[in-house]
Every structure is written in C-alpha cells, then in structure tokens.
A = this chain, B = another copy of it.
Amino acid sequence: MKPVTLSTAFITALSTLTATTVIATPRQEPITPIAPVRITEPAKVELGKQLFFDPRLSMSGVISCNTCHNLAFGGTDNLKTSVGHKWQAGPVNSPTVFNASYGLAQFWDGRAADLQEQAQGPIQANVEMAMPHNLAIEVIQSIPGYRKQFEAIYGDKNVSLNNLTDAIAEFEETLITPNSRFDQWLLGDNDAISVAERKGYELFKSSGCIACHNGPAVGGTMYQKMGLFGAYKSSSPSQGRFDVTGIEADRYQFKVPTLRNVELTYPYFHDGEAETLGEAVDLMGRLQLGRTFKETEINQIVAFLSTLTGERPDIDLPHLPASGINTHRPEPFK
C-alpha cells in the first residue's frame, strides 16, 4: 500500500462525496491534495500499530515509537530534541510520522531509503531505544500473541527484522492526514480558506517558498541547503546530507520537511531552535530567500500554513499481547 497522488478522476469522485458543495474543477496548483488511505492489509496494519506502541522494543521497556512520535498529537514529541534511553538528549528534532511516507527518503539527512529501512534505526540507536536488533527480535518472538500474528501474515514462525519493520512501515503508511482546509480549497471549495489565508498562500508562491515546499506533502521532495543567504548558526552537530555522502556540496543540505500539520509540530528546524511558526517563517525568508518579511506578511503566511492541518486518523489504542514466561525483561537501569 502506497499513498498516491490524486488523479483528476479520483479527485472528481472525491469531490462528489464531500458534504460541502464544491465546484467540480479542482485547482491546478504546485501543492496537490493528499488522498485518504485505503487499507488493503488490515492485519498487517494492526500488527504494525501494536509494535509502534510497544515499549518492549526498547531496552528499558519505557520507550516506544509513540514516545517520540506521539499520535495523540502531531506525530512528534514537541521537544527541541528528543529524550531517549536513560534520558539522553538526541542530536536533532523529531520529525512527524504523519505523511512521512511521501518523503523521497527518511531522516533529516535522508540516510534511510524508505520507512521500512528507517524503522531499523531507532530500535538500535543508543540515544533512542538502545535495543540490539537480535534482542528486539528475540523479545517479539518470545511473545506468543506476536508470534501468532507474524505466522498468519508472513507465513513464517520466526520473526525477522525484515518482517518486523515491514509491519511498522505498513502501519505508518496509514498515518495520512487528508481533508485539510487547504485541500478542500484545492478541490474547489472557495470558502474553505479565508482571505488572509489565501493571501498567505499567494505570498508563499510569489516569494519563492513553493520552490522547495511543494507536492502533496508540501515538502519532502528534495534536499536543500539550510542557509542560502547567510549561514545558519546551530549548536547541532548535524551536517545534513554531508554526513551521508561526504560530499562538500552536501554540507547543511537537509530534506525539505513537510509543512502538513506544521502548526502541531513545533518547535521547528532540524535542531528545534525556532519555537514558533512566526519565527520559522521569518528565518526562512531571510536565509532561504534573502527577504525580510513584514509582520503582516508573516502573519498571512502563518495563517496559510495553519490551513494545512488535516484530519488525523482515529486510532484505537492497541491491546498489546502479554509477554511470555521466557520473555527477556526490560532493564531500565542497567
């Protein structure tokens, strides 16, 4: 299952489904609506959800994916940098998992090709869950309720890292937030956004933000240097793409983040240094466009950005399966 960019036919079908009367002529814009997800493998999604919420994937038994990507809110922890195993501070800000499947790659520096590869990172990372892969597999394998699901879905008694991360990725692909007011406007509903919000969008296009933040996720389609019109001063050790490629031109190139639900994913930037959306917009103007916005302009852009908040999926808290008698017990203080 992959979220798809909406075809015009599908958009028309969708429009006729919505309650509000909409003009059946979707707008042609550099930002496109995101499609609601159609779940084709519900059992796999359910398994992935359980794993996403399961703190037993961490050495301490305290930290789950949801600790740093809180699905009760914007899919992040809203901290400057995350708190990981033994209260260690992570080096960068936690990005949202909502609509992450639209990214050209995963992580700020794109070091994982896709969600499945990504999911291997945090389990083992010492500043996150600190759980060696073989122990994570052993733990999940020792839980009868998990073993049963893996066997039913993958036809294999043995839990593998491949299948485990496949299930998590499948769940994450359902974390799509369709039907934002901006998408309603894109689909032809003129009243879905206010005049000020519309002005903000026009400014977003005319000033050049759209060059980097575009597509269905309003970002996630490319890497760009942070600090084109002046160096971005940061105390974060991250050097972006350079850390992956070692190529000088990639220094401080970061994946352009999605701006969907951006009003919920504060604080901003890879180092979490900008506390408010106004601050982030102001800095983007100066550093990426060499332009100093007036306060009213900033407010208009912020107003536009708030129309990108979509409908977050309703998530039933999973019922996690009980540990087996031989399941390795968590060791938070070791």
A60 to chain B, nearest CB (A): 6
Of chain B, the residue at the smallest CB distance from A50 is B72
Partner pick for A83 among B70, B325, B332, CB 8 A cutoff? B332
Docked pose: A329 CA to B89 CA in angstroms: 16
Residues of B within 8 A of A264 (CB): 322
> Which of A21-29, A106-114, A193-201, A313-321 is the contact stretch?
A313-321
Residue of B nearest to A74 (CB): B322
| Contact of A320 with B89 at beta-carbon distance under 8 Å, contacts A61-B79, A79-B61 already known | no
Contact residue among B67, B83, B316, B325 (Cβ-Cβ distance under 8 Å from A314): B316
Q: Does A53 contact B (CB under 8 A)?
A: yes
Residue A287 at the chain B interface, CB threshold 8 Å: no
Which of B72, B266, B317, B329 is close to A275, meaning CB atoms less than 8 Å apart?
B329
Docked CA distance A54–B312 (Å): 17
Task: Decide yes or no whether A55 CB sits under 8 A from chain B.
Answer: yes
Q: CA separation between A316 and B263, bound complex, in Å?
A: 23
Interface pair A79/B53, CB less than 8 Å apart: no
Quick one: given A315-B317, A317-B315, A323-B266, are A53 and B78 in contact (CB under 8 Å)? Answer: no
CB of A20 within 8 A of chain B?
no
- Do A72 and B53 touch across chains, with their CB atoms under 8 A apart? yes
Interface bin, chain A: 35 or more
CA distance A135 to B275 in the complex (A): 19
Q: Given A263-B322, A266-B323, A314-B316, decide whether A62 and B79 contact each other with a Cβ distance below 8 A.
A: yes
Measured CB to CB, the nearest residue on chain B to A330 is: B79
Which of B67, B89, B320, B323 is A72 in contact with, Cβ under 8 Å?
B320
> How far is it, in angstroms, between the C-alpha of A312 and the C-alpha of B317 when the chains are bound?
11
Main secondary structure of the interface of A (DSSP, over half): loop
Is A61's CB under 8 angstroms from B87's CB? Answer: no
A316 touches B315 (CB 8 A): yes
**A133 / chain B contacts, CB cutoff of 8 Å:** none
Cα-based distance from A72 to B64 in the complex (angstroms): 12
Question: Which residues of A in the span 74-89 have a Cβ within 8 Å of any Cβ on B?
Answer: 77-79, 83, 86-87, 89
Asked whether, in the complex, the Cβ of A83 is within 8 Å of the Cβ of B71, the reply is no
A binding-site residues for B, Cβ under 8 Å: 53-55, 60-62, 67, 70-73, 77-79, 83, 86-87, 89, 263-264, 266-267, 275-276, 312, 314-320, 322-323, 325, 329-330, 332-333
Q: Could you name 18 residue pairs across A and B whose Cβ atoms are closer than 8 Å?
A: A53-B72, A54-B72, A61-B77, A62-B77, A62-B79, A70-B320, A72-B317, A79-B330, A79-B332, A83-B332, A87-B332, A89-B332, A89-B333, A263-B322, A264-B322, A275-B329, A314-B317, A315-B316
Q: Which 3 A-B pairs have the closest CB atoms?
A: A87-B87, A315-B317, A73-B320
List 5 other contacts, CB 8 Å, given A89-B333, A316-B317.
A53-B72, A62-B79, A71-B317, A79-B330, A314-B317
